[in-house]
């Protein structure tokens, strides 16, 4: 959902109408996700390493900007070989307002010491796309499980996979 864990938990509790059931679903889903990551059953998005390598070769810094917390990001990074491609990580913990507010991307710009017209965001979640647009930064959408509205997709570049992103950079 690209909103962080607390809003996701609240969403599940609201949808089920039962705080305990919402918490149980959240906990079980997170445990299953972690198990799949540990077992290597959740693959990196197709084209991710190729794109990150290309950007690194061109001297273009890449940052992770995630609604998640640092512990979860480090856990995920510990089970793939992508950490070396990132100049830094900005999490939902680093900003007052998480996605879809623009805070996380504006903070990343400050850290990277670049302005909006020198950056591009690769996003897969509707809240992340809105966050990038709210920050005034160009967004490339790589659709995942939930596609943003047609109104939002008209404002961004859409590619099927990260492998297709090399052609637009």
| Pair 50, 82: CB distance under 8 Å | no
108 — pLDDT class (breaks 50, 70, 90): very high
Q: Which two tokens stand for residue 43?
A: 């693959």
- The average pLDDT across 116-120 equals 95
Question: Is the Cα torsion angle 29, 27, 127, 139 positive or negative in sign?
Answer: negative
Q: Which two tokens stand for residue 49?
A: 């390493």
59 — pLDDT class (breaks 50, 70, 90): very high
- Among the residue ranges 29-43, 77-91, 99-113, the one predicted with the least confidence is 29-43
- The average pLDDT across 122-147 equals 90
């Amino acid at each position: 959902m690209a909103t962080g864990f607390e809003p996701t938990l609240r969403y599940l509790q609201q949808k089920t109408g039962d705080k305990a059931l919402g918490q149980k679903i959240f906990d079980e889903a997170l445990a299953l996700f972690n198990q799949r990551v540990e077992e290597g059953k959740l693959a990196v998005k197709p084209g991710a390493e190729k794109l990150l390598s290309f950007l690194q070769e061109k001297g273009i810094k890449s940052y992770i900007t995630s609604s998640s917390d640092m512990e979860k990001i480090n856990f995920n990074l510990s089970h793939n070989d992508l950490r070396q491609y990132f100049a830094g990580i900005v999490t939902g913990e680093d900003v007052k307002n998480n996605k879809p507010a623009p805070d996380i991307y504006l903070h990343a710009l400050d850290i990277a010491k670049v302005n909006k017209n020198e950056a591009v965001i690769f996003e897969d979640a509707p809240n992340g796309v809105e966050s990038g647009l709210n920050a005034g930064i160009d967004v490339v959408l790589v659709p995942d499980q939930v596609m943003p509205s047609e109104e939002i997709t008209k404002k961004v570049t859409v590619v099927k996979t990260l492998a297709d992103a090399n052609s637009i950079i």
